[in-house]
Amino acid sequence: MSDRRYRRIVIHLRGGAFHTEAVRLAGDLARLMGIDLLGRFVRDENVARLAGLPAVREFRLPEREWHTIEDASATMELAAAASRRLFAQVAGACSARYLFETAPALNGMPEAEDIVVVPPRGAGEPAPTRTEAEPKGAAGMLFVPYRIARRQGPVVAFTAGSDEPALATAAAIAASAGERLLHLRLPETPGIPVAPGPGFPTPRLAVFGRMPADTDLPAAMLRRGIPVLILREDRPAEPAEPPRRPENHG
């Protein structure tokens, strides 16, 4: 499957923080969607300001030792090289097409065909708000839970209708994974809560075409360990293959 509406999944990497599970999840999804996975190492410009201060030290992964920060550029190169190796190892294990690049501190807007990965927050931290979860400029956002519940199982699509592009995308992902597609219809009227009924299976991925009126639903999915993919609803549908008829649980 290759979805022409999306070009790549982008995950930002920083020195000292490598989310293996986030990279693995993004790599699996990139493979299922037939698109590239881009690992972008973000240089921390604040490191340059700390260089030479005797009271400031860093823990370097290759040597697993503490060092003073004497050369900011060398520090960034070491961190980028460590991230590149880890990224290639994890992404390669997913059989995903992957790229790696370094970039200055985050600025500007993502490209319109990008799906941006949001790494997991700490255990017990609040889930993203409606404003934080709205794709801004990007084609979508992939939210990674603190602990992923399962890597196999059905894909569930939450949409207001059967003609939304997100449903076609979810159907194609499910077909590529050889899994069932479940469909839950969201209410058109704000303020009406929606939730899966009793016996609803735990999916491997929840896909939303927009932020639902019940804004706690994506957060509830994340708390259950279910990755959440929120797609921009104004993107035209160009399914690469006819979607299978979903099992309607709405």
Mean pLDDT lowest for which of 27-36, 79-88, 165-174, 231-240? 231-240
CB 21 within 8 A of CB 82: no
Q: CA–CA separation, 57 vs 121, rounded Å? A: 25
Domain ranges of the chain: 1-119, 120-250
Whether residue 151 contacts residue 176, with contact meaning beta carbons closer than 8 Å, is answered with: no
Contact 43, 104 (CB under 8 A): yes
d(Cα 141, Cα 26) in Å, to the nearest integer? 11
What's domain 1-119's architecture?
Answer: 3-Layer(aba) Sandwich (3.40)
Q: Which residue has the higher pLDDT, 43 or 102?
A: 102
Q: Is the pLDDT of residue 14 over 70?
A: yes
> pLDDT grade, residue 157 (50/70/90)?
very high
Token representation of residue 48: 């340059």
**Residue 250 — pLDDT band, cuts 50, 70, 90?**
very low
Tally DSSP H helices, then E strands, for the chain: 6, 12
pLDDT band of residue 99 (cuts 50, 70, 90) is: very high
User: Looking at residues 165-178, what average pLDDT do you find?
Assistant: 94
Q: Compute how many other C-beta atoms are within 10 angstroms of the C-beta atom of residue 34.
A: 16
Q: Which two tokens stand for residue 114?
A: 């990008």
C-alpha–C-alpha distance, residues 175 and 233, integer Å: 21
Whole-angstrom distance, CA of residue 98 vs CA of residue 38:
6
The two tokens of residue 9 are 């999944």
Per-residue model confidence (pLDDT) at position 203: 93
pLDDT tens column, 56-73: 666 665 567 666 665 556
Q: What are the angstrom distances between the C-alpha of 32 and each of 23, 56, 154, 170, 179?
A: 14, 44, 14, 11, 11
Q: Out of 112-126, 130-144, 220-234, give the one with best mean pLDDT.
A: 220-234
CA dist 44 to 14, 38, 111, Å?
A: 8, 19, 22
- 56 close to 50: Cβ distance less than 8 angstroms: yes
At 212 the pLDDT is 62
